[in-house]
Structure 1
Amino acid sequence: MANLTENEIRILTQYRLGTEKDCPNLLIEGNHLLDSSRLQNVFEELSTKLNTSKVNVIGSMFVKRYAFLTALALYSMSVFNKALNTDLSNITLRLDPEDPLCLPSFHFQDLVIKDPSDDRHTWRDGVIRTLFKENVSRVIAAISAHTHVSRSVLWENVAIYIFWMYETLLDKEENSDVYEKLLQDFIYVVKEAPGALFGPFSTNPLTKYYHPKELEELTGQLIRKRSTCCLYYLMSDKQERCGTCPVQCIKENKKLGQAN
């Protein structure tokens, strides 16, 4: 057992690690996310900020924000070789009503971390199991049941942040040894880790969302088109869609075909 250094804590705050000792704002105990009545209270708090009363939209947007926890935990695992205890009973979310994006910060009752033993593979499996099987999978199941949003949508909401986090780190990393460790962890988490580490799955639930990026002809940018729509457009007065929305991409391709 060990602790995070001050510098490591500073870096992890960029991934929504909460460090404030006094949190006067809306607090949500991790286990409360499994309770439908408590979820409803949270959604009512979020409805004004998210400009919608539709529980399916709020549920999808909440999971997008909750997905920062996976980036936080996997960053600590891959970069610092330190495992945060992501059990639901150890986590409290803080929602700042003044934040226009409603991004939560994650507070850990116990920030003592676990270093890998001589067997990093087994240690890594433990990190993934606690994060996904004991936490994320259960939260997704509860929110899906409460809102009737497909679990596929919610899992992709989580997956895109994991892809973003690892790909950003890999793009910037210059040390070949560190790069190789990051790449191995990335491949393992999104492709090779068995489904049982994520919950009641026979295969890894992240793999099917990891498509190659494609060149977007209108913008000239490489994008990874989503498989599912996250419902973001239902928050917009103009019903604007994300740049990676599968529906938006189909529309833009049709426009290109007509122009040609």
Structure 2
Amino acid sequence: MNLAGHFTEAEWAVLSGGLRLKDSAERDPLRALMARDLLQEEVCEQLLDTLGPIIGSPTRAITASLLGKRLSFLATGACLYAMSVYDKGLLLSLDNTVVEFGHDDGLWTSSFPLLHGQPLTYGVNEREAWREALVQALFAGLLKPLWQTFNKVTGVSRRILWENTAVRVYSLYEKRMAKIDDPVTRERYEADFQWLLTQAEPALFGLDYNPLSHFRRPPTLVDEGQRSIRFRRTCCFYYLATEPAEYCSTCPLLRPGKKCR
């Protein structure tokens, strides 16, 4: 059975729509490669050099940061939404994940294909262990090796790459999931989010710290206190790949009296 067959029609509409999940058979044959292949330095360099001019990036490091943002959105969105909203587990691993890098007319068009998509389930009183296994596979198993390779090949800061990941998770839970009204689902995703922020062990990320907690800067009041923004700690360099320069809404360069690190 294909990936879509393991979800209801409504569930699949969300996952394959805005969250861009799809079966590997539907991948872009010209702009896709296995995640594990990207750990080869020469393959990574070739991809970044090909993608740079397409997205308007002047350096490999900036290209790596912006590609990392896209991959963070695709990986965390599909996996964590399925986990927290549908209570179904997607296995994201280097050998089960396809990296697409389509970008046309100034916009990312890439999706997130999986080779084997049968959701992982859990038994009675096993959800916490199941959740840990999914999160460890996603962060420590998939994203950490990719970010290590990006850092080694380009010199881009691993802090930038991990904050790229963290802000995608914040947005997923605080914006996309906040639209859900069902009280049971809301209770589950709110509990998962708090666990990710405050209790998930650093080992689940393959690090000596929890990046979702570390980059959780308190909101700053702007517009004379009319609204608040949770500014990033690091800059993703998006403004250096746009002409004229555009800034993310949470860019630290826009934080009153501060500069990015």
Where structure 2 has 5 or more consecutive residues not aligned to the other structure, the ranges are none
- Report the AA paired with residue 226 of structure 1: R
1:16 aligns with 2:20: yes
- Report the AA paired with residue 39 of structure 1: C
Note if contact 2:26-2:113 (Cα within 8 Å) is conserved in structure 1: no
**Which residue of structure 2 lines up, in the alignment, with residue 70 of structure 1?**
76
Note if contact 1:81-1:116 (Cα within 8 Å) is conserved in structure 2: no
What are the residue-to-residue correspondences of 1:152-163 with 2, within 5 Å? 152-163=159-170
**Which residue of structure 1 lines up, in the alignment, with residue 231 of structure 2?**
225
Note if contact 1:85-1:113 (Cα within 8 Å) is conserved in structure 2: yes
Identity of aligned residues (%): 29
Distance 1:225 1:61 in 2: 18
More displaced 10-residue stretch of structure 1: 187-196 or 15-24: 15-24
Task: Tell me the CA shift for residue 173 of structure 1.
Answer: 2.9
SS of match in other structure, 2:132: helix
Distance 1:243 1:98 in 2: 23
Note if contact 1:95-1:104 (Cα within 8 Å) is conserved in structure 2: yes
Q: Please point out which of 117, 134, 138 is paired with 1:131.
A: 138
- Report the AA paired with residue 244 of structure 1: T
TM-score scaled by length of structure 1: 0.88
1:170 to 1:80, Cα distance in 2 relative to 1, 3 A: closer
**Which residue of structure 2 lines up, in the alignment, with residue 54 of structure 1?**
59
- Report the AA paired with residue 96 of structure 1: G
1:150 to 1:103, Cα distance in 2 relative to 1, 3 A: farther
Q: Please point out which of 32, 46, 60 is paired with 1:41.
A: 46
TM-superposition CA deviations, 1:115-172 (whole Å, max 9, x none): 1222100000000011111101111111111111111111000110100010124532
Task: Tell me the CA shift for residue 252 of structure 1.
Answer: 8.6
Task: Tell me the CA shift for residue 215 of structure 1.
Answer: 2.7
**Which residue of structure 2 lines up, in the alignment, with residue 107 of structure 1?**
113
More displaced 10-residue stretch of structure 1: 232-241 or 116-125: 232-241
Distance 1:31 1:99 in 2: 28
Note if contact 1:65-1:103 (Cα within 8 Å) is conserved in structure 2: no
1:179 aligns with 2:182: no
**Which residue of structure 2 lines up, in the alignment, with residue 257 of structure 1?**
none
- Report the AA paired with residue 185 of structure 1: D
TM-score scaled by length of structure 2: 0.88
**Which residue of structure 2 lines up, in the alignment, with residue 4 of structure 1?**
7
Q: Please point out which of 30, 54, 64 is paired with 2:35.
A: 30
Distance 1:50 1:138 in 2: 23
- Report the AA paired with residue 59 of structure 1: A
Task: Tell me the CA shift for residue 219 of structure 1.
Answer: 9.4
More displaced 10-residue stretch of structure 1: 67-76 or 39-48: 39-48
Distance 1:97 1:177 in 2: 38
More displaced 10-residue stretch of structure 1: 158-167 or 113-122: 113-122
- Report the AA paired with residue 15 of structure 1: L
SS of match in other structure, 1:222: strand
**Which residue of structure 2 lines up, in the alignment, with residue 164 of structure 1?**
171
Distance 1:174 1:56 in 2: 41
Note if contact 1:18-1:105 (Cα within 8 Å) is conserved in structure 2: yes
TM-superposition CA deviations, 1:31-56 (whole Å, max 9, x none): 01211111112112211221123011
Task: Tell me the CA shift for residue 251 of structure 1.
Answer: 5.2
Note if contact 1:82-1:115 (Cα within 8 Å) is conserved in structure 2: yes
Distance 1:186 1:98 in 2: 33
TM-superposition CA deviations, 1:40-97 (whole Å, max 9, x none): 1211221122112301110100000001211210000001111111011011123334
Distance 1:221 1:34 in 2: 42
Distance 1:242 1:95 in 2: 21
Distance 1:209 1:48 in 2: 30
Distance 2:172 2:213 in 1: 16
